[in-house]
């Protein structure tokens, strides 16, 4: 903007006068950056099974509801979740696999829905890019299967399909998986919350108030999985006791 151009130069001149001690060229800067201390943990300590269990435990601490499923049972698991949600109208990003389709529900694909249409939806079903077990975080890069940002924002109920192979233990492991920095990211750690009134944690302010996760055991052996139907019977017990 032409009007602010003088200020741009003014500020940059002030900064360069104030930082004469710094590396002047790009190469020097890159070398200084490469030499920064990075002594923190990059890799986690858990094995595959423990990592997934920790992810589930952390999600449950945030009041997210988690069930597990095998890849072959996923459509049935999705249908079961939708059926027990007490909701009928769902939106879905265009990129979700066709076999997820749950019949008997108002299942609207997001071909550029207007805001009011998304607002009217009672729930949304999406994929995810990554799960970070250490903090119970689900990462969305808003790809075709994860949908535009509005989709996972306005509907009050979010069902997220997370693959076990997408779960990492530490935050740095997630960044290692990002080959290119993504343009859009939403890190979700439990449903929206506030503690602004007397530090009392209240679930659900503006984002979805209900977060459901189906953890798909896409890489575990047959013996270790617990199917969705099995978990359904005892939703509170699985997961949390095992890790300690």
Partner 1 sequence: MSLSAASHAELDPRLAAPFPKAVLPVLRNPQLRKNVAHAIDVIQAKRGKLVAEKRDWQELRTAASAIRAHALENLGAYLEQFEERCTAAGGTVHWAADAEEARKIILDLLRQQQATEVIKIKTMTSAEIQLNPCLQAAGVDVFETDLAEIILQLGDLEPSHIVVPALHVNRSQVREIFARRMGLKNLSDDPKELTNAARAFLRQKFLSIPTAISGANFLIAETGSVAVVESEGNGRMCLTLPRTMITLAGIEKVLPRFQDMEVMLQLLARSATGERMNPYTSLWTGVTEGDGPQSFHVVLLDNGRSSILGKEKQRQTLKCIRCAACMNTCPVYRQTGGHAYGSVYPGPIGAILTPQLMQMKHAQSLPFASSLCGACYEVCPVKINIPEVLLELRSQVVDQERKQAGRIFDPMYLGLRIANLIFAGAWRFHAAQWFGRMGLKLWTRKDGWIHSLPGVGGKWTQTRDLRGLPDQTFHQWWAKRAAQSRQEGK
Return contacts of 81-87, CB within 8 angstroms, 24+ apart.
81/159, 81/212, 81/214, 82/123, 82/125, 82/159, 85/122, 85/123, 85/157, 85/159, 85/210, 85/212, 87/122, 87/123, 87/157
Query: What is the four-CA torsion angle of 182, 185, 188, 194, rounded to 10 degrees?
Result: 150
CB of 79 to partner 1, least distance (A): 28
Looking at the Cβ atoms of 155 and 225, the one nearer to partner 1 is: 155
Looking at the Cβ atoms of 132 and 164, the one nearer to partner 1 is: 132
Looking at the Cβ atoms of 198 and 236, the one nearer to partner 1 is: 198
CB of 8 to partner 1, least distance (A): 4
CB of 139 to partner 1, least distance (A): 9
CB of 192 to partner 1, least distance (A): 4
Looking at the Cβ atoms of 26 and 241, the one nearer to partner 1 is: 26
Query: What is the four-CA torsion angle of 71, 72, 74, 76, rounded to 10 degrees?
Result: -170
């Amino acid at each position: 903007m032409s009007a602010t151009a003088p200020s741009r130069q003014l500020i940059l001149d002030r900064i360069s006068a104030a930082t004469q001690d710094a590396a002047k060229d790009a190469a020097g800067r890159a070398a200084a950056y490469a030499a920064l201390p990075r002594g923190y943990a990059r890799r986690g300590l858990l094995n595959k099974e423990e990592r997934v269990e920790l992810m589930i435990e952390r999600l449950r601490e945030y009041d997210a509801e988690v069930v597990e499923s095998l890849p072959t049972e996923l459509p049935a698991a999705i249908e079961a979740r939708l059926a027990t949600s007490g909701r009928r109208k769902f939106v879905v990003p265009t990129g979700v696999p066709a076999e997820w389709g749950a019949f008997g529900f108002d299942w609207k694909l997001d071909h550029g829905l207007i805001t009011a249409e998304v607002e009217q939806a009672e729930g949304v079903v999406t994929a995810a890019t990554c799960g970070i077990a250490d903090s119970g975080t689900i990462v969305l890069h808003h790809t075709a299967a994860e949908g535009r940002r509005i989709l996972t924002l306005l509907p009050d109920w979010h069902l997220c399909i997370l693959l076990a192979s997408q779960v990492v233990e530490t935050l740095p492991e997630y960044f290692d998986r990002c080959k290119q920095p993504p343009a859009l990211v939403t890190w979700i750690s439990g449903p929206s919350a506030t503690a602004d009134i007397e530090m009392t944690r209240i679930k659900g302010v503006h984002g979805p108030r209900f977060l459901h996760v189906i953890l798909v055991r896409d890489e575990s052996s047959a013996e270790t999985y617990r199917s969705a139907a099995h978990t359904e019977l005892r939703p509170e017990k699985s997961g949390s006791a095992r890790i300690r």
